[in-house]
Amino acid sequence: MKELTHFINGAQVKGTSGDFGDVYNPATGEVQAKLPLANPAEVSKAVEDAAEAQIAWGATNPQKRARVMMKMVALMNRDMDVLAEALSREHGKTIPDAKGDLQRGLEVIEYCVGAPQMLKGEYTDDAGPGIDMYSMRQPLGVVASIMPFNFPAMMPLWHVGPALACGNAVVLKPSERDPSVPLMLAELFVEAGLPKGVFQVVNGTKEAVDTLLDHEIIQGVSFVGSTPIAQYIYSRGIAASFALFLILHNRYGTGNHVTLITFIALVGAVAWARIWLKRHTLLELLSGGLIGFFSLYLVLSKS
């Protein structure tokens, strides 16, 4: 029986909790792998290590971060067949559908190659009497992404790509039902040049999610999933006062229809969304929106 791992500090790491979940082959109904389920100590260690790695990554030139995205695009195209087969084996999608899942995620990584342009600041001379103003975008720090089972490649890439491009470290908690592709993507990011520890993948259940939501180092959480779970994450996240980006599924588990941005971008968010919906594609809306979400917008003045 195959035993899967976490992905911590650039390497596959066996679980130490002693708890495992079953990963099924939906085509046969048979258990094909055992998945380690992280306890709070394992999750906390992954977060703490990510915080250490983020310092240098956040200080890295945005163009150099974009080159990692560029290399990731090449590696995903190289390994498309292997990734699609792994996705199909755990999720049950046909190979063409699995490749479509990967392609939609790949397009966001391609978009992130242009992130440096979106991370530029602005300067306003004489904004007031004897006052100049300038703005800059900075990483949030360590962020967490909690992802669903139905798009095991597309959804993680939609969230992880923009977060990394902005200079954050990411702790990803994928679905326990199809975790192999997120683990494989983490390895590809390291091969693409991402420093070890900047992207961590921790498998687990509600206990792992709660640890991420309650951890003082976590500065933002992105989530895709059902409305009841989103409400839970929202209420717990508001109590912790960090940034939230929630994409909710409808009651049938398909179709993203609500996006909530809190704590950072409430002011003007509705007007911003209306403008983008009129002028841009859904890909641009989500990618550009996540670039904005995962970077802290600072407006400073000097006299």
pLDDT in tens, 123-145: 888 878 888 887 888 898 999 99
Can you give the residue range of the structural domain that contains 98? Answer: 2-302
If phi > 0 it is left, if psi is from -120 to 50 it is alpha, else beta; for residue 253 that is: left
Predicted TM-score of the model (pTM): 0.85
- Which helix or strand (DSSP H or E) is residue 256 part of? strand 256-262
* pLDDT mean across residues, the chain: 84
Residue 34, token pair as written in the block: 């055992």
Task: Give percent of the chain with pLDDT exceeding 90.
Answer: 63
pLDDT digits (tens, 9 = 90+) for 229-259: 888 887 887 666 556 555 554 433 444 444 4
Count other C-beta atoms under 10 Å from residue 45's C-beta. 17
Lowest mean pLDDT among 79-88, 205-214, 294-303: 294-303
The CATH number given to whatever domain includes residue 141 is 3.40.605.10
User: How many domains are contained in the chain?
Assistant: 1
Reduced to 3 states, what is the DSSP secondary structure of residue 90? Answer: helix
Q: Return the pLDDT at 220.
A: 86
First to last CA, the chain: 67
Taking each helix axis as running N to C, give the angle between helix 269-279 and helix 282-293, from 0 to 180 degrees, rounded to the nearest 10: 150
pLDDT > 90? residue 294: no
What pLDDT, in 10s, does the model give residues 160-172?
999 999 999 999 9
